[in-house]
Amino acid sequence: MEFHVTNPVIEWRGPAPFYFVAIDEGDSAIIKSVAKEYSYGWGVIYVTVTIDETTWTTAVIPKDGRYLIPMKDAIRKVVGVELGDQVVMRVKLGKAS
């Protein structure tokens, strides 16, 4: 199952800032409906994300009815995005094969 996500990079502050891109509510509802098939526990689901030519595996995190895609600093630097930048991603459920 694959989704296209176009949303800004947001910050979730904790002890250190963490950066995410939120999946739209409609797509999040679809993901939630198949979550048991893809989840490895606690509702966290492995995904393979692609921005331009950069692909990585991570896990989406459920928060407030949506799923958040983590953006590690190393990835953000490679793809050249900062807090607030709009990004276009291809998100595929499951680990890369």
pLDDT at position 16, please? 66
- Please give the pLDDT value at position 96: 64
Which residues, given as ranges, of the chain have pLDDT below 70?
14-17, 41, 43, 96-97
End-to-end CA distance of the chain: 13
Q: How many domains does the chain divide into? A: 1
Looking up residue 24, the CATH number of its domain turns out to be 2.40.30.100
| pLDDT of res. 62 | 86
Kindly state the helix (H) or strand (E) to which residue 34 belongs, with its residue range.
helix 25-38
What's the domain range around 17?
2-93
Q: What is the pTM of this model?
A: 0.86
| pLDDT the model gives residue 48 | 94
Pull the structure tokens for residue 83. Answer: 């807090």
